[in-house]
Structure 1
Amino acid sequence: MQVVYTEDHRQHHPRHFLVNGAQHESPEVPERADRLLAAARAGGHGIVGRQHFGRGPVADIHTPEYLQFLEHIVTRWRRIEGASEEVIPNIHPQGRWQTGYPASAVGQAGWHQADTACPISEGTWEAALASADVAVTGAEIVRQGARAAYTLCRPPGHHAYPDMAGGFCFLNNSAIAAQWLRRTHSRVAILDIDVHHGNGTQGVFYSRPDVLTVSLHADPVRFYPFFWGHANERGEGDGTGYNLNVPLPRGTDTAGYLQAMDRAFQRIRAFAPTALVVALGLDPHEDDPLKGLSITTEGFAEIAARIAGLKLPTLLVQEGGYLSDALGDNLKSFLSGFEAAAGS
């Protein structure tokens, strides 16, 4: 399987992460990609670099207002006397009332950043664009006839809305890739297997019938992102019935997860897509530091084999999965399980 990667992700190195109001070191660091890349190489997969697609694929998903914010906010933030090194909002307008768009950098940070887990610093914009290019490069590989490709995207993307960052995510790589696949595929399904609900991806396609969004995740009633990912969220307008959430009890193990996948696959088969994007989170693992589910390393191979059994051109887009001794092994298990099933 071809693996798409770029060193440009290193330009984004967040320092801070608030947990229950306390400041901690961010878990979304360059070492994540280092371990995943080493695992892909150890698995014998060929590494290819990103192609440069310009801003078009990103602008197909994200608003120009938001993209302008991401590109220029660091420079503007640094003009504020006493401001933090990283752009971290201290105000979040609930409901984002339609009373006008703020002119100040502080107000716009609150408008465009859903939480304090997406600090923006010098290099974040460039790294996010590069990560989107990685996703589109993989989508193009699949579009040109490959059975599957894996895109080592960092920073991740599935919490990013058209005009809002959140949860370590700035540009929605999975959505951008799905939109690229729509150039030749009339129906594309996105299956999100990250431990957290793919709320941004859901938001992008919530009113659209051409992209089915399915997410299996820890129940948000007591887990991030809290306000999205519930079973009653089915889509709206023309997209009603094209969104499926399968929230799982905290600590769900491999057997319980595989059982829940049957429901997700029923919906995917009913949609009859001609291509599949998998938002590949490795954070459902039992030893992931963000702890929500209890999938074993061997369980990732079983999950991957089930996905390969759909027999669809498949793009794997890296989402979560944080530093633990098992991180690399989890990726190797997933990729080997997928290839073994796809080749059978």
Structure 2
Amino acid sequence: MRAFFDDRQMKHEPKGRLVAGVMKPSPEEPERAVRLKRGAEAAGYIVEAPGDYGLGPIARVHDPAYIRFLETIHERWARLDGASEEVMPNVHPANRTDSYPASPVGLAGFHMADTACPIGPDTWFSAYWSAQAALSAADALMTGERGAYALCRPPGHHAFADLAGGFCYLNNSAIAAEHLTRAGRRVAILDVDVHHGNGTQGIFYSRGDVLTVSIHADPMGFYPFYWGHAHERGEGAGRGANLNLPLARGQGDAEFLDALSPALAQIRAFGTDALVIALGLDAYEGDPLKGLAVTTEGFTRIGAAIAEAGMPTLFVQEGGYLSEALEHNLTSVLGGFHGA
């Protein structure tokens, strides 16, 4: 069983984010990767360095102007008089069709949805290698692995084609799904993070060749607020290829597993032959972001239910923040999938 992670993913060290107007430390810290790596190894996965697929697979999902922004914005920002240590937006366009600015301050607002995705000197470097981990795990799946794991940090599912948000810069799950699709696979993405995968939904919303399904805390009162509602089914060619299954805040194992049943039924009906799991572990009852109440044993049952679908499965790490059980929750999902 193969897993992929590059130590260069540790270089991204976001300092803070605004929460209800108050600057607080970011929970997306490098220690997450240390614990997740231990959790994957405990489940029997061999963690290896990813290959370098270059920018091509990233640019098949993300807008070239956005990639250029991520590559260069910190250097440009640092030249501003009195600029903060990290790039953080303070103004946003009203619409994505508004004029494209030249100023670093304007660019930050155009390409960053919120303050939870600050850009430091090594952010692009780490995000790039996070995407390479996802691509390497996708290729492992195509060589006959029943399951593969990409330890993607920073995570990706809140990143749109041209917009960072919610700790995310490059959408690793979407990049892996596109890579598999171009290799001839019929791909579905199942997002089990406590937050809706709004970036993933946005990338594929008008496409019918990739199914996107998400189980998450109800966004009426929870991030990302504006996306993830049950009536969102896709548009144009993608109509019917998006399924959201929001859960009331605080619900636990039973409710999550109940939602997983129609999610997997839709995935089977799509004719899926490669399943990408956007694996958030922040639905855990003790996660600091506190949206749902899934237990460690519940994660085992989630992994087992996914295995019963009988599809080659790529696990791409999304959320899950520091708690006493973070690594054990990953071991539980992967162990449940492999029948441990």
Query: TM-score, structure 1 length as denominator?
Result: 0.97
Matched residue, 2:26: 26
Percent of residue pairs identical = 59
Alignment of 1:55-74 (within 5 A): 55-74=55-74
**Corresponding position of 1:15:** 15
Equivalent runs, 1:25-104 vs 2, <5 Å: 25-96=25-96, 98-104=97-103
Partner of 1:201: 200
Q: Distance in 1 between matches of 2:42 and 2:204?
A: 36
Aligned to 1:231: 230
Deviation, 1:44, is 2.9
Aligned to 1:220: 219
1:179 paired to 2:171: no
**Contact 1:304–1:334 (CA<8 Å) still a contact in 2?**
yes
Residues 106-117 of structure 1: pairs in structure 2 closer than 5 A: 106-117=105-116
Question: Is 1:270 matched with 2:282?
Answer: no
Map of 1:282 onto structure 2: 281
Q: Residue deviations 1:146-190, cap 9 Å, x none?
A: 111011000000000000000000000000000111133342000
Shift of 1:30: 0.4
Give the C-alpha shift of residue 99 in structure 1.
3.8
| Distance across 2 between alignment mates of 1:105 and 1:14 | 19
SS in 1 for 2:184: coil
AA matched with 1:310: A
Deviation of 1:38 (Å): 1.5
CA distance in 2, matches of 1:261, 1:147: 20
Check whether the contact 1:159–1:167 (CA below 8 A) recurs between aligned residues.
yes
Matched to 2:71, the amino acid is: E
C-alpha distance after superposition, 1:226-262 (max 9, x if no partner): 0000001100000000000001000111011101111
Instruction: Give the conservation status (yes or no) of the 8 Å contact 1:185–1:274.
Output: no
CA distance in 2, matches of 1:151, 1:209: 25
TM-aligned CA distance change 1:262 to 1:43, over 3 Å: closer
1:232-247 mapped onto 2 (5 Å cutoff): 232-247=231-246
Alignment of 1:143-182 (within 5 A): 143-182=142-181
Matches of 2:45 and 2:98 in 1, distance apart?
A: 52
Distance 1:19 1:50 in 2: 34
Deviations 1:108-147 (CA, angstroms, capped at 9, x unpaired): 1000000000000001001000000000000000012111
Q: Distance in 2 between matches of 1:86 and 1:174?
A: 26
CA contact (8 A) 1:50 1:137 kept: yes
For residues 55-111 of structure 1, give each alpha carbon's deviation from its aligned partner in whole angstroms, at most 9, with x where no partner exists: 011000000000000000001001110110000000122323x34211100001000
Q: Aligned partners of 1:40, 1:337: CA distance in 2, in Å?
A: 12
- For residues 313-338 of structure 1, the C-alpha deviation after alignment (integer angstroms, 9 at most, x for no partner) is 11000000000001011011111101
Provide the residue aligned with 1:335 in structure 2.
334
Q: Is the 8 A contact 1:218 1:247 kept in 2?
A: yes
After TM superposition, the structure 1 = structure 2 runs for residues 246-325 of structure 1, keeping only pairs within 5 Å, are 246-325=245-324
Q: CA deviation at 1:310?
A: 0.7
* Structure 2 runs not aligned, ≥5 long: none
Aligned length: 340
Amino acid at match of 2:220: V
- Letter of the aligned partner of 1:75 in structure 2? E
The one-letter amino acid of 1:28's match is E
* AA at the equivalent of 1:85: E
CA RMSD after TM alignment: 0.9
Is the partner of 2:176 in helix, strand or coil?
helix
Equivalent position amino acid for 1:252 in 2: Q
